[in-house]
Structure 1
Amino acid sequence: MIRDLISYGLQRWLRQGLCALALIAGAGSAHATDIYITAEFKPDVNDPDKREFTNTTPWSGVCDSVHLQVCINNNWWSIDTKVRGTKQGVYATNWGPGGFYIGMPTSRKVTVVSDDGSSTFELGVNIIGAAMRITDVEADGPKEPASTGGPNNCSQGLTNQNANNHSVMRMFLRRDGGEGTVSCALHWLRDNNYRIQEFDFTYKLTTPAPLAMRSGVYRGMTSYRVGGTGEGADFDLGDGVVLEDNIVNVHFELTVDHAFQLDLPPGSDRAVLAPKGGWTQWSDHGVAPKYLERDVPFSLSSSGQFEVSLQCQHPLADGRCAIRNVTEPAEEVPLDIQLTLPGFRDSATGVDVVGMPLTTNMVPPVLAADVFIIRRPSKLNFAVNGEAVKSMLDHPGSHYRGDVTVIFDASP
């Protein structure tokens, strides 16, 4: 009886990309501020249908402190632009730029680039609201410069007054969802000078589909100009405005951390090849088997793309691995290796991974799925076929061995 033994190893290489420097800002003015918006995608096996980024930007601006829970409940996310300055208030009741006035820009697309520069994606940014805190600079002056009535074109979100420092914060929320340009205003109640102590905007991100992105960090940047009416600013704060900074560089960082797990049953480091149904037909009746094979089952969990490649102890010119007679001199025997991963496909060809041949000279396929797959039963099939089986039968009692390494690279 021939006993053919092949040992193989399954290895997983998870290479994490190195963080690159943020993209150089397009506006290098000395009158610029820099703010940072971050989001991450980290799949959860307990919630496999979640396919969205989570905003991880630290809270700042009008939503921070007393209004935090209200903003969380309404999915508002504000950020302080660090823009500071002054505004000359002039009594007006026409919702014009002389009042408590904020003009906001249309939505825009921002290109985010992976650390290694190989992948780019589009990030949508919608400014859905803005807020301004102003402080009466005259010690005995009024703290409330703006009317409490409804603003034009917007709804009034949050208001926060502080009697101790004569300041008021008002937040406008757009009714158009941030698609067009819009200006929001309240009437100005009296002539006076005010300090712009804080200027925030509230935003919504339309992120790429994370399942199509490789693990790593993606960065991008866009700039908004802030100024007074007539200055061509993206954010128009009305008449009588003097600012210390007039450019806001917004840096975006998206982190994708895909899940990948390979679970092997005990004893999977050895595959003993045999005919289907055992050796009885050969030993008792002399009927030669057409093939010798063994399936090695395992389970795979993955939310992203990964490569599969092959290494052999005894490689053949055609890319297949060989097993070698370790008992007596004989020709090496080619080994056919096939991979089956239900639910996965070759991202280049769209072909399902069912009986996919693995060779050392193939371009490693990048495999992907449309959903987060969890513990999907899969298998590797090892087989010696046809004439190679007959050549082995010419050496009864021999042992054939060879090491095979199948590499799953979760960061292709």
Structure 2
Amino acid sequence: MPTPWLKRMACLLPVILASVPSAAATVPLLLEYAPSQAREALRVSVRNPSDYCGQEPCAANVDAARLFDYRRIAWFYRSASIYLGFMLRLPAPRTVQLVSDSGATLQLKLTFLGSYLGVNTDYPLHPALNNNVNAGCSQRRTLGAPPAMKVNWMLDAPGTSQLCWFALRESTDNYTVTYSSELEGIYQAELLPGQQPANGMYRGQALFTVGQEGTDFQVGQIRNGDGYISTSSVGFDITLTVNPALAVRLPKGDEVSLMPPGGQSEWNRWSQWNQVPTHLEGRVPFELDSNGPFRVSYRCGTVSADGRCTLTGQYSGNQHPYEVALAWNTPVEIAPGYTEQGTPNGNGRTFGYVPTLTANQGAFNLRVEDPAALQKARDRLFSGTLTLIFEAGL
């Protein structure tokens, strides 16, 4: 049995027990960036073993890992308070610089959201007082049951010490509560806004201190006694792979009708009253995401002697030229070596661009001049093929 002094101290403040910590623990954090994946650009590529992501639907950029071991014993005796509380501090959000093999840099923010702590007790939890919410610290989940369980606490303000507590049944006998397990950290990775990640592999490190008040990780307060914390610091080895990614969204179907600018009503005036429109037009809209330079090309199925795309009459075989123009809803930077009009590529043209981080919206606009010439040919249908090509890289 502990001395009465230890009993009184245990009622007021549980005791963390310390021994000489070992060298820094290291946790891998493996990330991928690929904006084509449902626009969740940053995601954890290989998750660490954890209780949190094994129980919760973790977001793509959230992971958890066991960071260090600890042991702390709190003695209780009859008539002791049923509330067991301690101070928990997780690191403040940290900005980490990542550097690629080519020397390019990215800024990554690492934010700790909460933790799992192991608890062993010879007295059961109070069922009506589980899932407590204290100012800044919320008990979200308890895994297992006495004598061995793990408790999940989520903090509202990482970087500040918060009082976390949970409830036990009222005591009529002596009992102990032992924290003896791993601390599992729950963290989120985000790229700072306004960056344009180039393809490649980026690496960086973040180091966090562990121990008493004033360290990045604080679990209670250190007092003399039989206890243990396994390390004085925890390091994260961060690897971010930025993959070549190009995502293009096109309308359904593979046909485009060429119509007068006034639409169906002007078409009716042409077919019924011989009111020839000034031109015919069609449009193929698209939306494009890319994390690097890209090319957009078109190629015509048939071309005229002067290199223009042509439509071919269904019966006569007569050809009629049409124009193809690429337009963007918002300006996109033209890549070095390319022009606004594009580079000839045989039966078409190729355009090169440097993208922004947001989706780029554009369209291929088709235009037929001199519709009267089509009418004179007496063909019921003029058709042609146009191939659109989108490529990552230049």
What TM-score does the superposition give when structure 2 sets the normalisation length?
0.53
Structure 1 residues 366 and 78, CA gap change in structure 2 (3 angstroms): closer
2:181 to 197, 201, 211: 197
Q: Is the 8 A contact 2:138 2:164 kept in 1?
A: no
Q: Contact conserved, 2:114 with 2:187, CA < 8 A, in 1?
A: yes
The counterpart of 1:215, out of the listed 199, 205, 209, is: 199
Deviation at 1:192, TM superposition (A): 3.3
**1:105 equivalent in alignment to 2:91:** yes
Map of 1:34 onto structure 2: 26
Indicate the residue corresponding to 1:248 in structure 2.
Answer: 234
The CA deviation at 1:34 is 1.0
1:78 Cα shift?
A: 4.7
Deviation at 1:212, TM superposition (A): 1.1
Deviations 1:62-100 (A, max 9, x none): 3144x23xx43x7894522341121021458698xx834
Any unmatched runs of 5+ in structure 1? 1-28, 263-298, 309-339, 359-364, 379-407
Say if 2:219 is the partner of 1:237. Answer: yes
Structure 1 residue 303 corresponds to structure 2 residue 287? no
Normalized per residue, the structure richer in strand is 2
Give the structure 2 partner of residue 328 of structure 1. none
SS in 1 for 2:134: coil
After TM superposition, the structure 1 = structure 2 runs for residues 126-145 of structure 1, keeping only pairs within 5 Å, are 126-136=111-121, 141-142=122-123
Task: Kindly indicate whether structure 1 or structure 2 has the higher relative contact order, using CA contacts under 8 Å at least 6 residues apart.
Answer: 1
Q: Distance in 1 between matches of 2:62 and 2:40?
A: 20
Distance 1:80 1:214, change over 3 A: same
Give the direction of change, closer, same or farther, for the CA distance of 1:76–1:347 in structure 2 (3 Å limit).
Answer: closer
For residue 259 of structure 1, what is the aligned residue in structure 2?
245
Is the CA contact 2:72–2:180 (under 8 Å) kept in the aligned structure 1?
A: yes
Asked whether the equivalents of residues 143 and 168 of structure 1 are also in contact (C-alpha less than 8 Å), the reply is no
Aligned positions, number = 262
How many angstroms does 1:347 deviate by? 7.1
Provide the identity percentage: 17
Q: Which residue of 1 aligns with 2:163?
A: 184
Secondary structure, counterpart of 2:51 in structure 1 = helix
Report the Cα distance in structure 2 between the residues aligned to 1:30 and 1:253, rounded to whole angstroms: 25
How far apart, CA to CA, are the structure 2 residues paired with 1:261 and 1:187?
48
Whichever residue aligns with residue 132 of structure 1, its letter is L
Q: 2:378 maps to which residue?
A: none
- Output one character per residue of 1:264-284: Cα deviation in whole Å (capped at 9) or x when no partner: xxxxxxxxxxxxxxxxxxxxx
Q: CA deviation at 1:374?
A: 8.5
Say if 1:40 and 1:376 are closer, same or farther in 2 by CA, change over 3 A: farther
RMSD: 4.4
| Alpha-carbon offset, residue 411 of structure 1 | 6.4
In the alignment, which of 36, 44, 51 is matched to residue 36 of structure 2?
44
Alignment of 1:136-175 (within 5 A): 136=121, 141-142=122-123, 148=130, 149-163=132-146, 166-175=147-156
Q: Deviations over 1:326-376 (max 9, x none)?
A: xxxxxxxxxxxxxx895531479xx99514799xxxxxx983345455997
Is the contact made by 1:41 and 1:258 (CA closer than 8 Å) also made in structure 2? no
Q: Answer whether contact 1:161 1:169 (CA < 8 A) is retained.
A: yes
- Work out whether 1:122 is the aligned partner of 2:107: yes
